[in-house]
Homo-oligomer: A and B are copies of this chain.
């Protein structure tokens, strides 16, 4: 298809598509005439994925390029998933990763062990978890691995739900693409669901108890 059709079917402007082509997020089309290029169906799919990672996942162009290139490497499903996963940015801002002492890494490793997880390869998420332990300690919440374990079990249940949806799918790129979309898109969905559930729980627990008494003042 031509770039105009790519734009129409994806909802992404031609200018943005050209930008993605220049940045190497999309493979170049096949030139058919002067200033004309043909793109296969797979480019449309790649474009939609790039758009989602950037606009909804909030990934940078550079990070998106890393994820997409990881998917192009001719390796196993497992290795593709790992490469794409590691290319995502940490759930914590850079600043939270500074000055994280060894004790917080020890808590992070203890939590992974208590959760029964086998982590293969150089995951960056042990460091993220250590940053989380430090951030909690900084605000006065000295949560041990044991305190976070119930949350780890819920996260594991979510990860099982994630992969259960791929039962029967064999194509390596397809599995990797679905896994990345779920990781990136469901993260804000899960955060949203937790906030709604918190509002429900707050209403159940606090809405009708001692409203005036603990107000500290009247309106």
Contact of A191 among B157, B191, B197 (CB under 8 A): B191
Interface string of A176-216 (1 = CB under 8 A from B): 00010101011111111111111111111111011110111
The answer to whether B189 and A148 have CB atoms under 8 Å apart is yes
The answer to whether B206 and A81 have CB atoms under 8 Å apart is yes
| CA A216 to CA B170, docked complex, whole Å | 12
The answer to whether A74 and B217 have CB atoms under 8 Å apart is yes
The answer to whether A195 and B55 have CB atoms under 8 Å apart is no
The copy count of this chain in the complex is 2
Stretch at the interface among A25-33, A34-42, A61-69, A85-93: A85-93
| CA A11 to CA B191, docked complex, whole Å | 29
Complex interface: chain B residues within 8 A of A218 (CB): 74
The answer to whether B190 and A96 have CB atoms under 8 Å apart is no
| A215-B185 contact, Cβ under 8 Å, with A125-B192, A135-B52 | no
The answer to whether B74 and A215 have CB atoms under 8 Å apart is yes
A154 at the A/B interface (Cβ < 8 Å)? yes
| CA A95 to CA B136, docked complex, whole Å | 30
A3 at the A/B interface (Cβ < 8 Å)? no
Complex interface: chain B residues within 8 A of A155 (CB): 190, 193-194, 196-197
Min CB distance A183 to B, Å, is 6
A120 at the A/B interface (Cβ < 8 Å)? yes
| CA A91 to CA B202, docked complex, whole Å | 20
Interface string of A92-136 (1 = CB under 8 A from B): 110110000000000000001001111111010110110010011
Interface centre among A52, A82, A121, A198 (most CB of B within 10 A): A198
| CA A55 to CA B219, docked complex, whole Å | 34
Additional 20 contacts, C-beta under 8 A, given A82-B199, A129-B196, A156-B193: A52-B138, A55-B95, A56-B135, A74-B218, A75-B215, A76-B214, A77-B210, A77-B214, A85-B199, A116-B200, A117-B196, A117-B199, A118-B204, A119-B203, A123-B199, A125-B195, A129-B193, A154-B154, A154-B190, A170-B214
